[in-house]
């Protein structure tokens, strides 16, 4: 009977508190996300309590079974009336303890066995569940990646299909008849612009967007003609630019040439600082900003209420109007104080004054300019900027080694005259005026100037021995080809320019293969760096020695090159050089006279044979004597030219 009554009491009285105890950890587990881990600790506590309270609970059951049952039933009825739900009521302290003890005693064996199993399963299941969860996450992530890849492929396929349909339906190359009709009338600019865009789009992905019945060559030729007629270029320059850039980038370059580059000024650190100059100009209504991180003296001017080239600060020499690209050669040269430096082509003086500012008016600068009209602007800027360490001279750059002496300076800056294909935005006449012959002439002159600049530098200089070569051209023949020629003819090496930005020079271009170190040169483009097209290279002279073969080649080159510019001078010079050669026929004349006296009785045929033998024997010694006297002839030619130039200058001074 005791067992049956205890079971009934358990069914009525013990179930509610068990539910209470089970509900509280479940609610906490749902909040914290760990239902299984929260259930196990209270079960362990219950196990310990049950083991300790087993003997006392058995005694209580034998003494008061009837009283406990009546008390429980009365308390349940009272709680039901108060709350309306008997299962959720709270018990008194004494009865609650007895009921808890009874419930723990009766449910102890089964409950403990079940709790131990659950703990074992939970421990083993937690590890398996974590592994399975990780495996599921990996599978799901892989599935997601595969789905995204498929979506991208589908999108690309749809885009290609759309481009095919659009290309097939909307664009085709014009026929010869249509081109003839266009040539008869004025150019249709909207039509040309739309056709240029369509051809560029087709060439960007020609395998997919290829027009019907058209080859790539046809598209390129049509694009060249359209660009030439729309933007006003000649066929040579467009062809040269097509060799340098792909169609898409070429259009960006051409569009950049149509816009003016931002106006930039350089602070003269001999007289002021950039911060002070900026404050003064801002007060005058000039909208400006620092040029860039790579320059500490540059300012870019957006707009101004006053003429930027006529302010009191400009007239006082606080700054100079100078393009951003013109900063680069001087920064690469990196002049040091108390050095001897030559600027081969100095006018109008922007680079020369920058060099003087970096040297802090110490050392010595030779500012050379060949064209007399440009000397005025050079000297005016030197005086305005407060430069006092510069000597202005008027010589051909190729003759400077003879004037200043070889191995006489520490550094040379050569901003060589060029075709100007990088500054089309400043001079639009370049679009039409340049040709292949002019490019070759400029390249020939640049090679001569660069060799002369290298000869002036002293390789044993403690601080110097550097040559910086720069042009405002994009042509490879005027840039990389000239540097490669100098590397072969002189003992120089390319070094880093010290400029952190810019694109590397070409190591290979079409069929040309240049020295691998040409990747140390720098190229600057308007559409990439927002400045004029420019090329900068820095050379280090390794030794002052020259090879004999190089001297012979240069001697021949100077004689041949001199024939082109000055015909009058050279017409007289050979006569002076040929005065030495009559000694050969004078020695041979008596031989001829003896042979003629002795052979009076002989036939004419024998005379002809002897004359031919004598001529064959005389030719080799002439050639040998010419080879021996090449250096002497070169010196005589140079002396004769200098004397004539001096005479011309004296005459011009007398006339003035």
The annotation status of 415 as a binding-site residue, yes or no, is yes
Return the SS3 of 344: coil
Q: Is the dihedral of CA 131, 137, 141, 144 positive or negative?
A: positive
Distance separating alpha carbons of residues 118 and 335, to the nearest angstrom: 85
- Burial of 634 by CB count in 10 Å (0-12 exposed, 13-18 middle, 19+ buried)? middle
The annotation status of 347 as a binding-site residue, yes or no, is: yes
Q: What residues does 320 pair with on adjacent strands?
A: 266
Q: Which of these is catalytic: 219, 393, 418, 472?
A: 472
- Residue 373 counted as an annotated binding residue: no
Q: Is 537 annotated as a binding residue?
A: no
Scanning 344-468, the segments in alpha helix (DSSP H) are: 350-359, 375-384, 400-404, 430-433, 436-456
Q: Centre a 10 Å sphere on the Cβ of residue 435 and count the other Cβ atoms it contains.
A: 14
Residue 422 marked in a binding site: no
Question: What distance in Å separates the CA atoms of residue 263 and residue 20, rounded to the nearest whole number?
Answer: 83
Residue (of 94, 49, 54) closest to 71 by Cα position: 94
- Is 252 flagged in the annotation as binding? no
Is 346 marked within a binding site?
A: yes
Determine the number of helices (DSSP H) and then strands (DSSP E) in the chain: 27, 15
Query: 135: annotated binding-site residue?
Result: no
Torsion of CA 490, 493, 498, 499, to 10 degrees: 70
Peptide bond into 370 cis (omega under 30): no
Is 418 a catalytic site residue?
no
The answer to whether 453 and 460 have CB atoms below 8 angstroms apart is no
Asked if 172 and 212 count as a contact pair (C-beta separation under 8 A), the reply is yes
Closest Cα partner for 595 from 623, 562, 617, 626? 617
Strand order in the sheet with 298-304: 286-290, 298-304, 263-267, 319-321
- Mapping DSSP to helix (H, G, I), strand (E, B) and coil, where does residue 471 land? strand
Catalytic residues, which ones?
Answer: 472
Residues of each annotated binding site: 345-351, 369, 396, 415
């Amino acid at each position: 009977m005791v067992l049956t009554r205890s079971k009934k009491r358990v069914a009525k009285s013990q179930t509610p508190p068990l539910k209470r105890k089970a509900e509280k950890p479940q609610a906490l587990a749902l909040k914290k996300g760990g239902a299984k881990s929260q259930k196990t600790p209270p079960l362990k506590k219950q196990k310990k309590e049950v083991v300790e309270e087993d003997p006392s609970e058995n005694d209580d059951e034998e003494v008061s079974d009837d009283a406990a049952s009546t008390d429980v039933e009365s308390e349940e009825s009272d709680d039901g009336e108060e709350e309306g739900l008997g299962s959720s009521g709270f018990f008194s302290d004494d009865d609650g303890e007895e009921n808890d003890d009874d419930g723990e005693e009766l449910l102890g064996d089964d409950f403990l066995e079940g709790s131990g199993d659950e703990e074992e399963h939970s421990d083993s299941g937690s590890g398996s569940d974590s592994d399975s969860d990780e495996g599921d996450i990996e599978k799901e992530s892989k599935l997601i990646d595969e789905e995204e890849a498929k979506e991208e492929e589908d999108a690309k396929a749809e885009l290609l299909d759309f481009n095919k349909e659009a290309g097939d339906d909307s664009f085709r190359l014009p026929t010869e008849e249509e081109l003839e009709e266009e040539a008869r009338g004025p150019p249709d600019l909207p039509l040309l612009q739309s056709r240029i865009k369509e051809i560029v789009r087709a060439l960007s992905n020609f395998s997919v967007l290829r027009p019907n019945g058209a080859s790539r060559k046809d598209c390129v030729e049509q694009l060249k003609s359209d660009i030439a007629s729309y933007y006003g270029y000649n066929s040579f320059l467009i062809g040269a630019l097509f060799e340098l850039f792909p169609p898409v980038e070429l259009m960006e370059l051409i569009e950049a040439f149509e816009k003016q580059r931002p106006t930039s000024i350089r602070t003269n650190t001999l007289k002021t600082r950039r911060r002070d100059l900026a404050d003064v100009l801002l007060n005058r209504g000039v909208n400006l900003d620092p040029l860039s991180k790579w320059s500490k003296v540059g300012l870019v001017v957006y707009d101004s209420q006053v003429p930027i080239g006529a302010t009191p600060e400009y007239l006082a020499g606080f700054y100079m109007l100078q393009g951003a690209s013109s900063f680069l050669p001087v920064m690469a040269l990196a002049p040091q104080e108390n050095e001897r430096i030559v600027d081969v082509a100095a006018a109008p003086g922007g680079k020369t004054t920058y060099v003087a500012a970096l040297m802090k008016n110490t050392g010595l600068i030779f500012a050379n300019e060949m064209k007399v009209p440009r000397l005025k602007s050079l000297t005016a800027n030197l005086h305005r900027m407060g430069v006092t360490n510069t000597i202005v001279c008027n010589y051909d750059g190729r003759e400077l080694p003879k004037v200043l002496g070889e191995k006489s300076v520490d550094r040379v800056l050569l901003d060589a005259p060029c075709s100007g294909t990088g500054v089309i935005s400043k001079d639009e006449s370049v679009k039409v005026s340049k040709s292949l012959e002019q490019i070759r002439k400029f390249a020939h002159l640049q090679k001569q100037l660069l060799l002369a600049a290298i000869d002036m530098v002293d390789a044993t200089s403690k601080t110097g021995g550097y040559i910086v070569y720069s042009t405002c051209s994009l042509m490879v023949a005027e840039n990389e080809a000239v540097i490669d020629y100098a590397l072969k003819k002189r003992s120089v090496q390319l070094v880093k320019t010290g400029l952190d930005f810019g694109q590397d020079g070409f190591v290979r271009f079409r069929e040309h293969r240049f020295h691998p170190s040409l990747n140390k040169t720098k190229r600057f483009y308007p559409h990439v760096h927002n400045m004029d097209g420019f090329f900068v290279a820095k050379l280090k002279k390794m030794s002052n020695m020259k090879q004999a073969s190089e001297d012979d080649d240069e001697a021949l080159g100077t004689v041949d090159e001199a024939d082109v510019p000055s015909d009058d001078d050279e017409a007289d010079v050979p006569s002076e050089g040929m005065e030495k050669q009559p000694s050969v026929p004078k020695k041979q004349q008596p031989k001829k006279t003896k042979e003629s006296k002795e052979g009076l009785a002989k036939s004419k045929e024998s005379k002809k044979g002897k004359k031919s033998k004598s001529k064959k024997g005389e030719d080799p010694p002439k050639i040998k004597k010419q080879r021996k006297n090449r250096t002497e002839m070169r010196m005589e030619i140079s002396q004769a030219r200098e004397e004539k130039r001096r005479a011309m200058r004296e005459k011009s001074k007398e006339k003035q």
